[in-house]
Amino acid sequence: MTKPLKTDLMNTDSLSIEQLAGQRLMVGFEGKRFNPDLKFLIHDLKVGGVILFSQNIETPDQVKKLCEAIQEYARIRNQPPLIIAIDQEGGQVARLKEPFTEFPGNPAMRDINDAIYFAETTAAELNQAGINMNLAPVLDVAPRSMTSIVSERAFGHDPEWVSMLGLAVISHLQQHRIMAVAKHFPGIGRTEADSHIELPSCDHSLSDLKSYDLIPFAESIAQQVAGIMISHVMYPEIDPKWPASLSKQIAHNLLREQMGFSSVSMTDDLDMGAITHHYDIKTAVRQILRAGIDMALICHKGPNIEIAYQEILDGLHRSPDTRARGKASVERIMALKMKYIPI
């Protein structure tokens, strides 16, 4: 039997409606070896990507074998190759520890050469491990005048400085075939609450955000950043009802129409308290579909992954508009896979 070509697997016209649903999910899993849970996620739910955490990591060789097994199983099941993502910001948020190179984090960067060295070293190690997406850089701007939730993760308080270092990281990751994801749109630097626990609010106007928080994101879009992660934060001056990660006004009207972003958008983890304490998973997924956000991130094993898949699938069956937006989302996802994932 002739194996399908990569281009065939990436053609949205050749994908089943189940594949169109599953490609919208990036999910976590348990274990350090390829296992039945991963088989279920890839074959039954047809997920577009997985995310690795410390619980999935033991040694460089083990990570490489795990990633190779994931891609090989997708191949033999005639599924598109998977995005395999990780949070490797350096410093406080870095899943890969020694013998991988450990960095002190964004606040410690002194100049653009530090940013380039971080990106090139990290890209080389991720490539060697079989990881193709880094959920970095953090492009939030953290003011000196407050205790920002990202003060230990942000490049600094000056939007131009954040842009300069962030663009260097994006450029040098992507030059080495690692997809970069700018986060946390439209900026959480002026929040103090932790969205892992509660739903923060940023009460600044859109014009205020444009003059400060949005500057690095606008620059990253011009740099053709592969992905943008949308935050679980309320911006009531823009959308009084929904957090950014569930908001059409922010994810579509602002990010797509006003700022011209044409690549892959994704939510922050839907298992975080900002979402779970206020919305059930079905409501969250329906809003993600309405907002035209490309990928829903669900980082923990559990029923939410399967419920989300079924809700996306039902939405595609139910509404021609949802199906059209969904196909456009998967086309953006496939464009990234074609560009960045070797086969």
Residues of the chain with pLDDT > 70, as a percent, come to 98
Helix runs in the chain, H state only: 6-10, 17-22, 36-39, 60-76, 112-129, 159-174, 206-211, 215-222, 248, 273-276, 281-291, 303-318, 320-340
Q: Is the pLDDT of residue 7 over 70?
A: no
In whole angstroms, give the CA distance from residue 131 to residue 52.
Answer: 9
What is the reported pTM?
0.96
Q: Return the closest-CA partner of residue 134 out of 65, 210, 227.
A: 227
Q: What is the mean pLDDT of residues 267-282?
A: 97
Question: What does the pLDDT look like over 38-95, one tens digit per residue?
Answer: 999 999 999 999 999 999 999 999 999 999 999 999 999 999 999 999 999 999 999 9
Structure confidence at residue 342 (pLDDT): 83
Residue 1's pLDDT is what? 38
- Say whether pLDDT at 224 is over 50: yes
Residues 6 or more apart whose CB falls under 8 angstroms from that of 110 comprise none
The question of whether 268 is a catalytic residue gets the answer: yes
pLDDT at residue number 6: 56
Percent of the chain with pLDDT over 90: 95
Q: Residue 189, exposed/middle/buried by CB under 10 A (0-12, 13-18, 19+)?
A: buried
pLDDT tens column, 98-113: 999 999 999 999 999 9
Catalytic pick among 8, 44, 194, 196: 196
Q: Name, in order, each residue with C-beta under 8 angstroms of 227's C-beta and a sequence gap of 6 or more.
A: 133, 179, 180, 181, 182, 263, 264, 265, 266, 336
- What is the average pLDDT across 1-29? 82
By CB atoms closer than 10 A (0-12, 13-18, 19+), residue 113 is exposed
Q: What is the mean pLDDT of the chain?
A: 96
| List of domains in the chain | 24-340 (3.20.20.300)
Whole-number pLDDT of residue 336: 98
170 band by pLDDT with thresholds 50, 70 and 90: very high
The predicted model gives 216-224 an average pLDDT of: 98
Q: Is a pLDDT exceeding 70 seen at residue 3? A: no
Residue 176 appears among annotated catalytic residues: no
Catalytic residue among 114, 268, 271, 294: 268
* Predicted pLDDT at 5: 53
> Quick one: pLDDT at residue 2?
43
